[in-house]
Each structure stands twice: as C-alpha cells, then as structure tokens.
Amino acid sequence: MNKLFQSNRIQLRSLSEEDATSFSKWSEDGDYLRGLDTDFAKPRNTEFYKNQIQSFEDSADMIQFGIYVPQDQLLIGFISLHSIEWNNQIASMAIGIGEAEYRKNGYGSEAIQLLLKYAFYELNLHKVELDVISNNDTAIFCYRKNGFETEGVAKEAIRRDNQRFDKIYMGILARNWKETKPE
C-alpha cells in the first residue's frame, strides 16, 4: 500500500460535511483557536464549517486534509497548504490538533511529515512556509523539530491578553527537508 497519506498512527484524508461538527466543537476551545490563528477567537456553528469545507474543496490554491486516527476513524485535527503560488512553487502551511487529548503527543509532527512529503514529492513545491505567535512554544518546538527555520520576525505584531507578542515567520526548503527528514 502506498503510504503517501498514512503514517504509523494517522491518516490524512479529505474532509466531509460531517466533519464540520468537530470543527464547530473545536471552535469553542479558546486555547485551540488562539494557538491556531492571530485573529480573535470566535465560536462558529456547524453550517459555517460545512460551507468552509466545501469552499476549500473548490479552491485552486488550497489543499486541506483531515488528520484521522484510522483505528477509531476519529478526526483529531486538520493540516493544509494554502496560498499556493504554483508559479513560484511555494505554499503556506496551517495545522491544528482540535482534540485536546491528542495534542503534545507527536500527532502534529507525523502530520507535518506527511504533508511535507506530499508537498515536495507529489506537488513538486520548492518551499513551505508558516507563521506562528512567539508565545506558542509547543508549535515552535514542533516546527523546528520538523526542519523549519526562522526566516523573520514581525515585532509585537500580535496583541493577546493586553500583551504584545512577535509573529515568527518560518520556512523549509525541499532540499533541506530531504536531507534531514526522519526515516
């Protein structure tokens, strides 16, 4: 079996409208939302996520996967390539582990490795980049562990809880990932 979309513990699959219920539940978790995005946290209903999932399926510059635990058929999060510039072979990455009990257990790293393999081998991208808030130590550690390097910092660009945080820009080139990828 081709392991393009599967690792030891997870599988990347397309999202369905039924998955919108999980996304709506996760949107009520402030820690999840605040680690995911620099926008303000806002719970959303299932209908919102159904529409969003459909729009992602129709997008030419975005590819989104659900992160599933195959033995339970449980959706635990998502990972995506967005803002894809096909002519420049560059995409931005986003990831979120919505099920709290699956955070900080290596599931995100497995998903990132699968996505990078897909990005560099299947899509022939040259670079994958992302941004992260400087107070998200868990995510920064995960990204560095998977080969991402800091490329820039927007000083005090994010305001949370009446404090200012930097926005860190990170990236990985295909050649660097191929040299350092875990086996």
Structural domains present in the chain: 11-180 (3.40.630.30)
CA distance 157 to 63: 27
56: exposed, middle or buried (Cβ count in 10 Å: 0-12, 13-18, 19+): middle
Q: What percent of the chain has pLDDT over 90?
A: 75
126, pLDDT greater than 90? yes
Sole residue written with tokens 């939302």: 33
Residue, of 26 and 2, whose pLDDT is higher: 26
pTM over the 0.95 mark: no
Sole residue written with tokens 């900080």: 104
116 to each of 56, 64, 112, 128, how far by Cα in Å? 19, 13, 6, 8
Dihedral over alpha carbons 116, 96, 36, 167 (to 10 degrees): -30
Q: Are strands 90-97 and 127-133 parallel, antiparallel or unpaired?
A: parallel
159, pLDDT greater than 50? yes
Predicted confidence band at 178 (pLDDT cuts at 50, 70, 90)?
A: confident
The reported pLDDT for the residue numbered 1 is 42
The reported pLDDT for the residue numbered 2 is 56
Residue, of 54 and 129, whose pLDDT is higher: 129
The reported pLDDT for the residue numbered 55 is 85
Among 31-35, 64-68, 103-107, 156-160, the least confident range: 31-35
Sole residue written with tokens 């209908």: 47
Amino acid letter, 67: I
Report residue 150 as tokens.
Answer: 């800091």
19-45 pLDDT, tens digit each: 999 999 999 988 888 888 888 888 899
